[in-house]
Amino acid sequence: MNLIEAIILGIIQGITEWLPVSSSGHLAILQHFFGIEENIAYDVLLHFATLFVIAFVFRKKIIEIIKTPRYWGFVIIGTIPVVIAGLLIEPYIEGIFGSMVIVGVMLLITSSFLHFADKINKKNNLNHKKSLIVGLFQALAIMPGISRSGSTISGAKFLGIDKKEAVEFSFILAMPAIFGATLLHIKDINAGINANMIIGSIAAMVVSYFCLNLLIKVVQKNKLKYFSWYCLAVGLFLIGYSLVF
């Protein structure tokens, strides 16, 4: 992987990891149309880099959580579904990534989530039952085309959770999921991390920071519909392309 490729992939990861358009779906699209193959070692490094962005942006919330053991339960309960789903779907994930019809349909689901969630403005609090349901929405995002941030924020808003807390819990919930996936593939880092990948990861961190802050503003202003339209357009294109070709 040369420097330009590493930076481009880093920027794409930085954009799609946080904005509700599905990073895994876009990775599948890149692989299919442009022949850009996934480098597991680089993928692990990129996710680890974006983990630092969450920690920095939500540092005050993390400190608050450390002081509030009850919130630990929300995070633990919310993480269980994605662990179970990951173990069940892992053997089939390669075949799923290769199907543009599946990716397209999943993007349509993401689009519908964002469309309906954008209309909900309530201020209920998080509890153990709701954290489990949000965790189930996160588990759906194992499918390429379903946005993790989009599904968890939408799921929280469907439950009437205040939009500020919906965003915070969505990304706090991402931390153990990303950290666990990183540990699971940590051995792959020894397979070939180089200077180009490190530079690309720095690019991903910078872009991630701005995109995460953009998403926070988008949710606060009820503008998720713009990403809904984007996912709808890309999803319909992929389905149409698959039917024709």
**pLDDT at residue number 188:** 63
| pTM, rounded to two decimals | 0.90
SS3 content of the chain, % helix, strand, coil (to 5): 80, 0, 20
pLDDT value for 190: 61
Phi, psi of 161 (to 5 degrees): -70, 140
- Asked if pLDDT for residue 11 goes beyond 80, the answer is yes
Structural tokens at position 37: 């193959």
pLDDT band at 189 (very low <50, low <70, confident <90, very high): low
Contacts of 67 (CB under 8 A, 6+ apart): none
Tell me the percentage of the chain whose pLDDT exceeds 90: 50
Q: Mean pLDDT over all residues of the chain?
A: 88
Residue 38's pLDDT is: 63
The partner residues of 161 in beta bridges, in order of sequence, read: 124
Question: To which residue do tokens 């990129």 refer?
Answer: 46
Q: Which two tokens stand for residue 243?
A: 């039917």
Question: What average pLDDT score do residues 130-158 get?
Answer: 94
Q: What is the pLDDT, as a whole number, of residue 239?
A: 95
Residue 4 has pLDDT above 80, yes or no: yes
Nearest to 1 by CA among 32, 31, 48, 39: 39
**Would you state the pLDDT for residue 227?**
95
Half-sphere exposure (Cβ direction) of 65: Cα atoms closer than 13 Å: 19
